[in-house]
Structure 1
Amino acid sequence: MAIRDGLARGLRRDDALLAVVFLAVSLVQVLLQPVEVLWLPGSRWFGPLLVVVSVLPLAWRRSRPVAAALAGAALWWVPTDGFLYLGYVTAILLLFAVGRWGGGGRPAVAAVGWALLSGTSGIVAIEQAHDRLVPLVFDVDLREHLAALRLPGSDALLSAAGFWVVILVPYAVGRLMAAQQRVSDERVVAEREAARRSAVEQERARIVRELHDVVGHEVTLMSIQSEAAAQALRHAPERAAQPVEAVRETAHRASRELRAILDLLGDGELPVVPDERGLQELADRAARLGIANRLSVVGDPWSDAPRHWLAVNRIVQECLTNAGRHAPGEEVDLRLEWSPAGVSVRASNPVPAPAPGGSPHLGRGVPGMQERARSLGGTLEVGHVAGHFVVTAWLPAEEGRR
């Protein structure tokens, strides 16, 4: 039962169909033109047996190539007065399968060796059978038939050489294809590993960007309010409670944002993103905490573009953070323009120009904003214009919206 179940599991439908076709053709052949053992006159039963033993293993040539080749060559050593028309084709398929799927180890080499030994023994056995049987046969017709089977020495050697070619060449071709497949598989594995490493790096960049956008903004607000609280404690202690409370609220908000980021990183889903009202609340909160700003929106904001809204929110948040950090007390002018083609974001605030030959320290914020824009197929540029630090972003609409 276990052997039968194992054979059934290893059976491939296409190989089974091939075996059935070869089996049917070969059985028809031996019924019309019997194949008998040379030293057993009247052994018509041997033809069907030879067909079954030699051809049926084709059904397992890929799932069990070594066993199929060993079984298929089991009767090649028997000298017969004929041959199967599909015999050489069957041998080629079996030995190719050993090279292609047999693994190339000792079992595969043993299968090839057994096929060579069995087939060569059959060629030699025909010679020996002729020498022993022809003198003993009294039937004239049978004696002439056996005499016709005799292979001269040179022809026997040529026949054996041809048989070896039939065995070794398909095996070698199979081995070559197996080696090529291994190289291809290794290349695929290497590409997958490279893609995995790239995905890990992208995920790290995403984590850093999210943490920077959220924590950096809230920490900047806490820094501004802490400075206000310190000033109040020195000059008007009764007014210190408000900035201290603002610091506490900001810290709680930062904690909630961090938990949201952890949830985002855990399931890969977009977090709840703000709409126009949420963006206005972001600007109002920054203004209450000391970052003056003016937000204007032109056009009809999209209601079904979460990735664009998240990018716009983070860009505006980073612009407010940079202004509070590098240009405290200056007003930030924020302008959004929505159109069917996309959304543009422009942020401008007065800031001292960089020293001659120097450049502003951009940190991680600006590269993070640029990466967000690129992820949507857009652009983001920064620079100093007439004493203002200006951020300009363009986020094109997705194809279905244009």
Structure 2
Amino acid sequence: MPFVLPREPGLPPVTWTAYAFTTLGVLPLVWRRRRPVLVLVVILLVGGVYRVAVDGPGQPLPYAGLMAFYTVALRCPGRVRAWVGAGSVAVVAASVGLSTGTARELSFTLFCAGAAYALGRLQYTRQAYTAAVEDRAAQLERTHRIEAEQAAARERARIAREMHDVLSHAVSIMIVQAEAGPVAVRRAPERAEAAFEAISETGREAMAQLRTMLGVLRETDGPEPREPQPGVAALPALLERVRRGGPEVVYEESGGAAGLPAAVDTAVYRIVQEALTNVLKHARARRVSVRLHHGDGELSVTVTDDGRGPGGGRGGAGGAAGWASGGGGGAAGGGHGLIGIGERAAAHGGTAWCGPRRDGPGFEVRAVLVTSRPEVGS
């Protein structure tokens, strides 16, 4: 204000030198974020020269020095802050000694410098906290995006398995029945009629299951009727359709048949369905055996046939056998069907195996699914 308001009579007028030094004491603040220590040193030197060599108006308040000291506390590492703090205390003590030399002025100046330093450290903590929160939010967003992409991939794989199981099984039965139809028309007309009925029934069931899956995917304004996914209870009807295709099918179920979880119930049906589809497509078997055994907390599914086996061109087996766990394929070079059997078993904490029978010609698919989880602490 002494540069703006008229000065009292008897005081020397303001000079351009005083204007210049006052400006130099503020202008370095433009670079305070890039060179905080250098800016503080320049401001203190300009202020000292102003006080000693220039007959300026009054005693300017050290706002520029406090801002520079605040920036040092905000941006400099601990060792630099320690050296700057010690030097600032020495400069303040010398300045007070040249001025009034009173403890009152010394304590007031040190208090102002300490307050500026404390504000700088508080601002540093606030900025670090804000940066950490923003980084965490960005990481959570990336994590959520990755989880959403993984969930979409898992859902696509599940839908692909369901579509493969439904269509492959239905088309295989229809092809087998259609190929047997002309022969049956010439030799046994009554069997030809049964073959055409099996084709029609298989097609209708496949369409019904496809409508169910597509209805889940389709977004509609109102609820659509839903049918439960087939399970163990639907196996007799499935086996009956396969019998109409030619091979004799034997079904056995042993052990304490308790209620199965819905997901396991459907997985068992799909595993048997895929195994029978492979039999119809590749094995040329005359007899197929389907066995279910309910054990202690697990369910084993075994499908065997007396067909050509992997050495006879069995599709999907590739002439080898292997374990399928954790979503891996059932055999070296296995097709999607055997891979799907392994994935279904692994999804329920189990394993699957496929390969040539050990007790004779043919092929065997065996899967073990966990039906109950052990209790914590047991």
* TM-score grouping bracket, smaller chain normalisation: 0.5 to 0.7
The corresponding residue for 1:359 is 319
Q: Is the 8 A contact 2:252 2:292 kept in 1?
A: yes
Q: Is the 8 A contact 1:264 1:271 kept in 2?
A: no
The corresponding residue for 1:181 is 133
Change beyond 3 A, Cα 1:271–1:362: farther
Q: How far has the Cα of 1:378 moved from its partner? A: 0.8
What stretches of structure 2 of length at least 5 have no aligned partner? Answer: 1-69, 75-95, 220-224, 321-332
Q: Is the 8 A contact 1:207 1:265 kept in 2?
A: no
Q: What pairs with 1:246-285 in structure 2 (closer than 5 Å)?
A: 246-265=198-217, 272-274=228-230, 276-285=232-241
The corresponding residue for 1:91 is none
What stretches of structure 1 of length at least 5 have no aligned partner? Answer: 1-94, 100-126, 132-146
- 1:214 is aligned, of 166, 189, 207, to 166
Q: Is the 8 A contact 2:318 2:334 kept in 1?
A: no
AA matched with 1:323: V
The corresponding residue for 2:29 is none
- 1:378 is aligned, of 350, 355, 372, to 350
Q: Is the 8 A contact 2:176 2:280 kept in 1?
A: yes
Q: How far has the Cα of 1:297 moved from its partner? A: 0.9
CA distance in 2, matches of 1:205, 1:275: 20
AA matched with 2:302: R
AA matched with 1:207: I
Secondary structure class of the residue paired with 2:105: coil
The corresponding residue for 2:155 is 203
CA distance in 2, matches of 1:162, 1:270: 73
AA matched with 1:359: G
- 1:192 is aligned, of 101, 122, 144, to 144
The corresponding residue for 1:388 is 362
Q: How far has the Cα of 1:281 moved from its partner? A: 1.8
The corresponding residue for 1:321 is 277
**Aligned: 1:301 with 2:257:** yes
Q: Is the 8 A contact 1:291 1:323 kept in 2?
A: no
Q: How far has the Cα of 1:190 moved from its partner? A: 1.0
Q: How far has the Cα of 1:264 moved from its partner? A: 4.5
**Aligned: 1:333 with 2:307:** no
Secondary structure class of the residue paired with 2:259: coil
Change beyond 3 A, Cα 1:161–1:299: same
CA distance in 1, matches of 2:181, 2:245: 12
Change beyond 3 A, Cα 1:211–1:391: same
CA distance in 1, matches of 2:226, 2:356: 33
**Aligned: 1:399 with 2:351:** no
Q: How far has the Cα of 1:300 moved from its partner? A: 2.6
Q: Is the 8 A contact 1:287 1:293 kept in 2?
A: yes
AA matched with 1:198: Q
AA matched with 1:314: R
TM-score by length of 2: 0.60
Change beyond 3 A, Cα 1:255–1:275: closer
Q: What pairs with 1:91-106 in structure 2 (closer than 5 Å)?
A: none
Q: How far has the Cα of 1:224 moved from its partner? A: 0.6
CA distance in 1, matches of 2:175, 2:232: 27
- 1:151 is aligned, of 105, 127, 148, to 105
Change beyond 3 A, Cα 1:302–1:265: farther
Q: Is the 8 A contact 2:283 2:309 kept in 1?
A: no
Aligned length: 257
The corresponding residue for 1:117 is none
AA matched with 1:382: C
Change beyond 3 A, Cα 1:196–1:275: closer
TM-score by length of 1: 0.56
AA matched with 1:334: V
Q: Is the 8 A contact 2:164 2:337 kept in 1?
A: yes
Change beyond 3 A, Cα 1:270–1:241: closer
- The RMSD of aligned alpha carbons is 3.4
AA matched with 2:241: R
Q: How far has the Cα of 1:312 moved from its partner? A: 1.2
AA matched with 2:105: L
Identity of aligned residues (%): 30
CA distance in 1, matches of 2:115, 2:367: 75
The corresponding residue for 1:286 is 242
Q: What pairs with 1:8-87 in structure 2 (closer than 5 Å)?
A: none
CA deviation string 1:239-298 (max 9, x = no partner): 64443332222211110011122245569x996244554212211221123343111111
Q: Is the 8 A contact 1:217 1:318 kept in 2?
A: yes
- Report which stretch shifted further, 282-291 or 307-316: 282-291
Q: Is the 8 A contact 1:323 1:330 kept in 2?
A: no
